[in-house]
Structure 1
Amino acid sequence: MSRLKPSIRLGAAIFLAGCLVGTPLAGAQAEAPPALFAERWIDGTNGAEPATQVQALDADTFVIRQSVKTNFEAPFLYLMFGRDKVLLIDSGADGGQIRPTVDRLIAEWLAANKRTSIPLVVAHSHSHGDHVAGDAAFRDRADTTVVGLKPADVAAFFGISPWPDAIAQFDLGGRKLSILGTPGHQAAAIMVYDPRLKILLSGDTLYPGRLYIPVNFLGDNRASIDRLAVFARNHPIRAVLGAHIEMTRTPGEDYPHEAAAHPDEHPLELPPSSIAELRAGLRAKLDVPDQGQVHDRFIIMPVSARAE
């Protein structure tokens, strides 16, 4: 998500092409999302909820959700440990209390592993404000690197050359991640693939919600998803994990923009078949802003042209 989004609802005109007109993509309901989390995510429906919630995927991988009570974006962040360093993907939206949560998780991991320190890298799924607002809290943290926000910064740090076509390897120490440049939603967007857990961290490019694409970057977005589809054919993906939830469990139904609560949320997890579904949907013309292409688990939403 980003602050460039217009207020839209499912009632926006459905813009589908060819055989997709009026129907979800064939097979959209054939694969159930995998269930990775034991707890229900905080969703604003309880009068009191913590500023963040953490669920572990294993002893070295933690998913953090910022409460919708602190910011309507309610983003998800990812903390991944290796032997030599720990990677945080995104630092949260305005109003978040992300650094105390990250510091606690790192302290607990160090104690469990009988360690005294580990370097932290703060990177971003992309550079919109609801994913970078917490950066300032980490800039004075010892042994911490905050990756820059421009495509050139991201490409240089991870070694994605040429950007965005190459796939970089980022080794946390005994845990080598693949970093894919995926501009389209935003110019510096990346995805992160973890072969250990077979998860793909997809940011705002693919998640259960409204996939906003500036019309002047539709070509970039299509090219990114084409590259992703090739990658997915050659790498086992158990689940796609994005940065937000904006869909309900009712197929094709989203929440109002800036909703204060998310009752009956769609799971965070998307099945890997969502990649092919998104790729097929992007074949439509999609050149009219605010006319959404509705799928069961996401809505492709072209928006007005933007600088980045």
Structure 2
Amino acid sequence: MKGEKAMAADARRVRRAPALGLSAALLIASGSGYAPEVRAACGPLPKLLAETWMDGTLPQEPSTQVQQLDRDSFVIRQSVKTNFEAPFLYLLFGRDRALLIDTGAEGGRIRPTVDRVVAQWLAARGRRSIPLVVAHSHSHGDHVAGDAAFRDRPNTIIVGLKPSDVASFFGISNWPDGVAKFDLGGRPLRIIATPGHQAAAIMIYDPRLKLLLSGDTLYPGRLYVPVNFLAENRASVDRLAAFAMKHPICAVMGAHIEMTSEPGRDYGHEAPTHPDEHSLPLPAQTIGELQTGLKEPLDTPGQRQVHDHFIIVPVPARAE
């Protein structure tokens, strides 16, 4: 039986029914769009992170903060004091190689943190080295600015920034419709092409943790969609929703936090501090909510379609 907080959250979703469509709002609230075995595998949104993220409210904070999801999975946050974007990066290890997703925004010092985590991981296993693949959730500057620091790193491959580069490296044969398998060694990931926010955007699904790493396509913040790529974004989220119907996703973890803990309330653009932040993980049901929201008219740059966990914001046409 649902608790009072869950029932209140459901009620808020249903009250937004005029924007979403009543049947869709009820579907999102109940989670009934997911196969029973998928829902049963996850249950409530798990508590994945032990610490509170640094948020710029203290006089001093380190340039990065690292939290561990399990012995082979790490989340790195770049300090908002180094860049207002304060992006999140993900470092995943398998037996044969490690994968770093994004290298941060201007002003960051990501490589020393990555090198430290890699060294600690190797030492814990009595190993001397592991190849590192540096890939990107997408190719915007606040996710690729640290690439240069990795170009001279030994035993490291940096995936290119164009859709063709991404498709070729991961073996997505029918971009953007295909889903590729990328095995770190005993840890097979799924690479899902999601162009729309940006042409080379991808998501990474980790079956071990049942996590979807969703970049800037879905996170607790303002989801910017260029009006000339609305169709691509809608198609990507439709494919993602179909994937989620068949794969247990216990949490969606994106690349930023721009929402407060108050439903539907975000921080101002380029906010220097983030007091009382929304949690980073989102429930899987937000995929369906995003899919439904994108079906509404979104042709006017600057309009805001407000949801509890995110805000869809169409922006002027972009080159890619």
Could you state the TM-score of these two structures normalised by the residue count of structure 1?
A: 0.92
1:138-149 alignment, distance < 5 Å: 138-149=150-161
User: Kindly tell me: are residues 280 and 22 of structure 1, through their superposed partners in 2, closer, same or farther at Cα, counting changes over 3 Å?
Assistant: closer
Q: 2: distance between equivalents of 1:105 and 1:30?
A: 40
Which residue of structure 1 lines up, in the alignment, with residue 203 of structure 2?
A: 191
Separation in 2, partners of 1:134, 1:302: 27
CA distance in 2, matches of 1:147, 1:92: 15
On the 8 A contact 1:25/1:295 being kept in 2, the answer is: no
Q: State the secondary structure of the residue aligned to 1:281.
A: helix
Secondary structure of the residue aligned to 2:134 is: strand
| Whole-Å separation in 2 of the counterparts to 1:18 and 1:110 | 51
Q: Which residue of 2 aligns with 1:74?
A: 86
8 Å contact 1:33–1:267 — kept in the other structure? no
Show the counterpart of 1:20.
19
Cross-structure match for 2:66: 54
Alignment of 1:1-308 (within 5 A): 19-20=18-19, 25-26=25-26, 33-308=45-320
Partner of 2:37: none
Q: CA 1:72/1:234 → structure 2, altered by over 3 Å: closer, same or farther?
A: same
Give the CA deviation at 1:285.
Answer: 1.3
Deviation string for 1:160-192 (max 9, x for gaps)? 111010000000000000000000000000000
Q: How far apart, in 2, do the equivalents of 1:130 and 1:282 lie?
A: 24
8 Å contact kept, 2:234–2:291 = yes
Deviation of 1:25 (Å): 4.5
Classify the secondary structure of the residue corresponding to 1:170.
Answer: strand
Is the contact made by 1:64 and 1:77 (CA closer than 8 Å) also made in structure 2?
A: yes
**2:57 aligned partner, one-letter code:** T
In structure 2, what residue type is equivalent to 1:229?
A
Which structure would you say has the larger RCO, counting Cα contacts within 8 Å and 6 or more residues apart?
1
Counterparts of 2:310 and 2:116 in 1: how far apart (Å)? 34
Does structure 2 retain, via aligned residues, the 8 Å contact 1:34–1:270?
no
Q: Percent identity?
A: 70
Q: Is the 8 A contact 1:70 1:95 kept in 2?
A: yes
Higher helix share: 2
Letter in 2 for 1:171: D
Question: Aligned-pair distance for 1:26?
Answer: 4.8
Over 3 Å counting, the alpha-carbon distance change for 1:199 and 1:124 in structure 2 is: same
Q: Take 1:102 and 1:219, find their aligned partners in 2: how far apart are those partners?
A: 36
Instruction: Give the secondary structure class of the aligned counterpart of 2:67.
Output: strand
> 2-side partners of 1:278 and 1:253: how far apart?
17
TM-superposed CA distance for 1:34, in Å, is: 3.2
**4+ aligned runs moved over 4 Å, structure 1:** 21-33
Please say if residues 194 and 236 of structure 2, whose CA atoms lie closer than 8 Å, have aligned partners that are also in contact.
yes
Alpha carbons 1:43, 1:262 under 8 Å: kept: yes
Structure 1 288/40 Cα, relative in aligned 2: closer, same or farther at 3 Å? same
Partners in 1 of 2:86 and 2:96 — Cα distance? 30
Shift of 1:20: 1.4
> Hey, what's the Cα distance between the residues in 1 that align with 2:17 and 2:53?
38
Which segments of 5 or more consecutive residues in structure 1 lack a partner in the other structure? Answer: 1-16
- The gaps in structure 2 that reach 5 residues or longer are 1-15, 32-43
Q: Kindly indicate whether the alpha-carbon contact (under 8 Å) linking 1:28 and 1:296 is maintained by their aligned counterparts in 2.
A: no
SS of corresponding position for 1:240: strand
Aligned residues: 292
